[in-house]
Structure 1
Amino acid sequence: MAKEKSSKKYAKIKNKLIVLLLPVVIIAVLVLVFISGWVSRNSMRKMATEQLNSSISNQGDNIESWLKKNLENFSTAKHVIETGNLDEESIQTMLNAFYGYNSNCPEGMYIATTSGKFYKADKSEKAVSNPQAEPWFAQGLTRINMNYGAAYTNANGENVISASGILMDGSDEIKIISADLTLEQISIIVNSGVKMDQAASFLIDTYSNTILAHRDDARVNTVLTENDSDKLMAGIAKRLNDADYTSCEIEGHQVAFRSIAGTEWYLVSYISNDVILADVYRLINILVAIGLAAAIIIVILINVLVSRVIAPLSGITQNIADMSEGDFTIKVSKDSNDEIGLMGSKVSEFVESMRRMLSSINEESERLKEQSDNSDRVSKDMFNASRSQADAMQNLNSTVDQLAIAVNEIAENATTLAMVVSDTRENSNQANESMKETVEISKKGRSDMEQLSRAMGGIKNSNDELVNSINDVGKASEEITKIVGLISEIAEETNLLSLNASIEAARAGEAGKGFAVVASEIGKLAQNSSASAEKISNLIGDVQKAIDSVVSQAEISAKEIDANSDLIHTAVDTFNQIYQNIERSNELIDEMIRGVQKVDDVAGNMAAISEEQAASADEILETSRNMVEQANSITQSSQDVADNSHELANTSQKLTGYVQQFKIDG
């Protein structure tokens, strides 16, 4: 293996350094050239933008100064006319006097009224047929002080701008005074006021996007749109439509905007990037040539210097090769006093350090092996214990699951019991209502019987009235018979409900014993009510028989009526007894309803408690499942620990074998 390594050819560091440094030098030169060009380009563009802004600012100032000077001239003339309080003839004289006063206003000043009158200087050639239709008139109505409006084309086809305002001469009629300025002087300022070479400007009215001044006469008085065939002009139109007037780059041109105060005009100036960056491109070419020459010189210098510097490295290289084969008994030369000498010194220190470290590693690997064996035994014990715990937790989980199912069944039975008791309570309430109606009817019957007793004296005087009264009593007894039959039916139905409640209570088991006692009491009350109703029915039958006997005897003899009077008194007493029995039945039904209410409350509470127990059982079941999962996880972790301990023991053995491969004793 050592022979194969020694026979292998290696490249020289000098050649590698040249191969590696040459691309770095070339890339560095290119990067410097690129950075220099980029910085120069940005600087030139920034300088050009600043110069363009300075130029357009100067042009804008000149335009504003020219407009302001003319506006002050017109305002002065307006003030003179207003303070003169002149008549029409004097107004004409004043207009003639101001004619030619301003060379930029060849037609002089003129005045129009809302009634359609128009005044101008005699020498003026301005012709207006309908002043109110003129744009300057509409603009002048909106202000008192004279100011400029939008540019427009006059009758002679010239681009003009009018300064107009309301003439405050004290008259009742509104007068508009105005003056026209041609845009020739503005065109001169726009086209000749550019400071930068090969830069251009134009003036545009943003109200209508009409170009007012341009170096190309064909574009003057045309509308600038985003669909312009010139992409630069189309881009400028988009910026104007978006009301974005910041300096920017459009289609390879630097573009600046300047608003003209007092108007809706904007001065636009632009210059091509090719013009700005021409010097930058020349500088980049020079820098590239210089960089290539510098790269050649640097390569030559590297070749000479590296040959002298790296000579001591051969000995250190051989020492490092010996170390790579595991021989740490070598001695490293430290003759040089530069970085290479320092490297030799550090390599020597490294050899000594490795000797000590390998000895320590050998000792530690032995101890590590012993500890890993102990860990392996402990992890196996822990794995067995955790597996037993997992089995126990699984059995606990099954038990809790069965408990949860039983609790849920109890909750369902309690809910069913509560529903049955609720239905029983509703039926009891209906029986109570029927019994109350029976009580009211019995009260009415008792009142009728008392009236019958008091009428017995009248029966003695009139047998016919006696017969009629007895017939009324017969009808009343029939009604009572029906009511008693209804009570009997209610008592039977209540008895059936009590039986059903007892059955449901028996199904509920231990929780339904209290309700079974109440249901039994309800059944007894229903049976008593039924017996009382039967007794009442028998008594009413006796009353009916007595009434029939009285009727027969009344037809035979008035004397028998006196005898029947005693029977009627007896019937009254019997009816009182019937009323008392019915009233007692009503009280028993009320007690039954209260008992059912208590059973309903108990059943509701039992259902709620059962549902809570079911929820608690579900929570216990979920907790048990989590504990089973955790126990399984612990078992798996124990198995992992055992595996890791085993791997650690193997690793310790391998480490001892690796350390023994090194030579540390001379």
Structure 2
Amino acid sequence: MKINIKEGEAMKKISTRIILTVLLCSIVMSLMVGASSIIRSMNVIEEEARNNLIATTQTYAKEINEDLAVYEEIVLNMQKIVEGTINASRLYEEGYLSEYTNSILSPIVQAMAQDTRKNAGLYIVFDPKFTGKSEGIWAALDENGKIMHSTPTNIAGMSQDDPAASFYYDAIKAGKGLWSDFYVNNANQNVMTYSTPIVINGMTLGTMGADMYVEEIEKQVQDIKLYKTGYAYLVNKDYDYLVHPTFDRSVNLKTYNNGQFSSLVEKIEANGSGLEDVYFNEVNRIMAYAKLYDGKVLMLSIPKAEVFRELNITINIIIGVILVSALLSVIIALIQGKRISGPIVLATEILNTTSNLNLTNIEETKKIKAMLSRKDEVGSIFRATAKLREEMRRVIKDIDETTDNIVVNTNSLTVATQETALSINEVARTVEELARAAMEQAEEAENGSMKLEKLADEIKLAVKNGELAVNSSMQIQIISEEGSKAMNDMVEKFNITNKSTDIVSKNVNSLLEKSNSIGTILSTILDISEQTNLLALNAAIEAARAGEAGRGFSVVAEEIRKLSEQTGHATRKIEEILNSIQSEVEATKENMDISEKSINDANKTLDQTIKAFEEIITSILTSMEAMEKLSKGLNMVDNEKDEAISAIHSISSITEETAASTEELSASMEQQAATIETISSNTENLAQTIEKLNQLMDRFTL
């Protein structure tokens, strides 16, 4: 059993289509699931990362704020101690503040300094106005952890704007507690200070505060590490960099790179905490920020790529899953495609065998038996095919037996009809030849008679038509001559019209040019009117400045302005009318041009018509001469036609009598011959049909 290569390729294409369909569905589903997973993961991870960054920033800010709050709490406690122990009425007494400081404040402040971490010093300073110098206490721990104390820096005589006295005057100016920026104190220590004024009963007694080592805050900020290269930095309330891996305090976040981060600063001032996407050092970064108690801002800077590294890993995993799914889909599709296309290939082989008229019993093979036993659509197809082949085998056998019987009977009939047909055909041929000769002679005589009669009629008609043609030709000659004269008159009138059209066209062009000149003059008048109006306005202004002396001139200027406006209005109306006239003139010019072209075309046509009339007259004269000659010849033929008609009638009568007898005999013989020929033809056709049927039957393999 062989299968056609192209059909085999078709089967492969079906299998391939099944594989591609399954694969395409799997890939589309995988892509949809993967895309939705990636988008969802991106949104979730990004939102979580951003929330974590904000929370992390707020956590670090909270740690710093807790340290700041400790110092604020210490200063607040010192303030309460002073408020509860000092006698404000004795401030101006000599020695009171010194005794009060040594006996009450010094032990308390030293104890607080001993217990405060990251402490660079605690101080209480009273206003020099009470004693003429600064009274108070300063206490701190040395490098060995031992307490040391002294009198604060004497600010007596210092200006409020002196940086060395800022620890004292800044809080008093603010009227509340505040934190300073980083600075180097008198002990050459890098510190920041929280100070608050001492106010009792509305009277400012001095200032107290706490110094905090900057190194501790710097280390705390620098130790913040996020992801791989993320870092933290600190700016003051004016957005000067205080702690940064690369920038120093001379760089300002707000003004950096022509205000690159101005929008970030606006959000910090508006929200206090949050994050912003920025582009810095050719890297897309996320800036998280949180304000501290003292107005400083803690900021975290992390590259976006590091934040979404986990997302990229997730995307790669999803892509890997999609690829694995596609591979599994291909394998499954191959298996299923083979299972589906296998029966189709086998069914095609059976149909190809049947199409080759091979009806041998192949249903007993193992493969086909398996297909016939299936209970699905495949089994139905194979059972229907097997039934078709069995039915075809039965029909072919019946046809074969029938044709054998027909062949035997038709052979005898063919021999008999052939012999009868030969004898009848001989007799019929002889009679037919005789009848044909008589008929031909009769027909020729009849046709000759009819043709002579028709010829006679035609000759009479030709004679009459010749006379009419001669008369008509004479009339046509007269009419053509009159038409030629009329055409010449029309040419002269067209020439006059053409000249008139040229004159009108020139007048229209002149009118158009003059209307354009009027338009130019109107524009000039309009410009003069506008200038006059401006001059009148200037004159009115000058008259107003002149007061009473210029009142009369003002009236004149107003009248001039009104006349100028009226002139302008009138000029514009004239201009509108002129524009309308120009439009109509231009339209008239276009129509004149069209009319002139039409007249020129008509002149050319008339010239051609005149030439045609001249040629017609010449042809008519020639025709009239030929008509006269033809008329003379027809009259001669008309006189001799009657004798020829009489002779032809006699020949026709004799021939018709002979032909009638021969036709009766020929008709009888032809009828018998036709019957025999029909029988013989049908027998031959039947034999040919049986032969073809046998040839078809031989093509079947049973």
TM-score range, shorter chain: 0.3 to 0.5
Answer with 1 or 2: which has the greater Rg: 2
- Return the TM-score normalized by structure 1: 0.40
- Return the TM-score normalized by structure 2: 0.38
